[in-house]
Amino acid sequence: MPGSTLKNPKARPDSLAERIYAQLKADIFDFRLLPGDRFSEGEVAERMNVSRTPVRQALYRLEKEGYLEVYFRSGWQVKPFDFTYFEELYDLRIILELAAVNRLCLMDEPRPALLQGLQAIWQVEEGERQQDTQEVSALDERFHCALVEATGNREMARMHYAITEKIRIIRRLDFTQASRIAATYEEHAQILDAILQRRGEEAQQLLKRHIELSKQQVRNITLHRLQVARDTQSTGFTATLADG
């Protein structure tokens, strides 16, 4: 199993658990740990040069978030990708965001400062656009969450954010291609224009098409990245815990 040795294994247990959690989550997100990979607490502790207690805390946190499964007699396993599950999450996301956009278009004044802030990010000249994958991914999440938050419905925003966290593992891959970053800027700008001009039906159509296209793209990219990672692992280039 791949992983990284922590730089300061003598840190406080709570901070160690947080750092182990972050490292393992990054390994899962970047396909250094593949769906179906199995490992034990002891292997993680040895590889990271820490005790088992913070490792256990980190692993149970990842299990709670749905990234790992625990087998009490045989250790831990990275949870296999369930694309049906992700499809369901995307479907629910679409329902919430379309409802939010419809409400925004019917409001007298849909939090103009918030929407103007989104305009300042997405309705810019090509030379002013962000190109960093992680930065664009974070901005994209913020855009969609902000649309829901702008309705003022806190429960809707809470549900939407919970979905956002669950799909992040695949959604962020949409921005590994320059063409998708450019498309996202164009599509977000169009969605904002439709909302600000109260063209509700058009705004919903644009938003739905935008999310569905992204969903298909991340599915294809995920399958490709998984295959590349498995091929690399099978040829022996992926580091293992035993390599220390």
Inter-residue long-range contacts of 205-209, CB under 8 Å, 24+ positions, other chains counted: 207/94, 207/97, 207/98, 207/101, 208/94, 208/98
Using the 8-state DSSP alphabet, how is residue 7 labeled?
S
Kindly report, residue by residue over 220-242, the tens digit of the pLDDT. Answer: 988 888 888 888 876 654 444 43
3 state SS of 29: helix
3 state SS of 78: strand
What pLDDT does residue 231 have? 83
β strands within the chain, DSSP E: 38-39, 68-71, 75-78
Region 46-53 average pLDDT: 93
What pLDDT does residue 242 have? 38
Region 182-204 average pLDDT: 96
Region 182-205 average pLDDT: 96
Q: Look-up: residue for tokens 């569905």?
A: 212
Pairwise CA distance, residues 210 & 217, whole Å: 11
| CATH T-level assignment (fold) for domain 83-226 | Four Helix Bundle (Hemerythrin (Met), subunit A) (1.20.120)
Pairwise CA distance, residues 187 & 123, whole Å: 10
Q: How far is CA 125 from CA 47, 131, 139, 214, in A?
A: 47, 13, 16, 22
Kindly report, residue by residue over 146-186, the tens digit of the pLDDT. Answer: 999 999 999 999 999 999 999 998 998 999 889 999 999 99
How large a percentage of the chain has pLDDT more than 70? 89
| pLDDT for 111 beyond 80 | no
What pLDDT does residue 239 have? 45
Task: Tell me the CATH architecture of domain 1-80.
Answer: Orthogonal Bundle (1.10)
What pLDDT does residue 72 have? 78
Pairwise CA distance, residues 93 & 159, whole Å: 9
Kindly report, residue by residue over 114-158, the tens digit of the pLDDT. Answer: 888 999 999 999 999 999 999 999 999 999 999 999 999 999 999
Q: Which residue has the higher pLDDT, 241 or 101?
A: 101
Please check whether residue 232 is in contact with residue 240, taking contact to mean a CB–CB distance below 8 angstroms. no
Q: How confident is the model at residue 4 (pLDDT cuts 50, 70, 90)?
A: low
Region 22-33 average pLDDT: 91
Q: Which residue has the higher pLDDT, 141 or 1?
A: 141
Q: What is the overall mean pLDDT for the chain?
A: 89
Q: How confident is the model at residue 6 (pLDDT cuts 50, 70, 90)?
A: low
Give the domain ranges of the chain.
Answer: 1-80, 83-226
pTM: 0.80
Pairwise CA distance, residues 37 & 43, whole Å: 13
| pLDDT for 105 beyond 60 | yes
What pLDDT does residue 17 have? 94
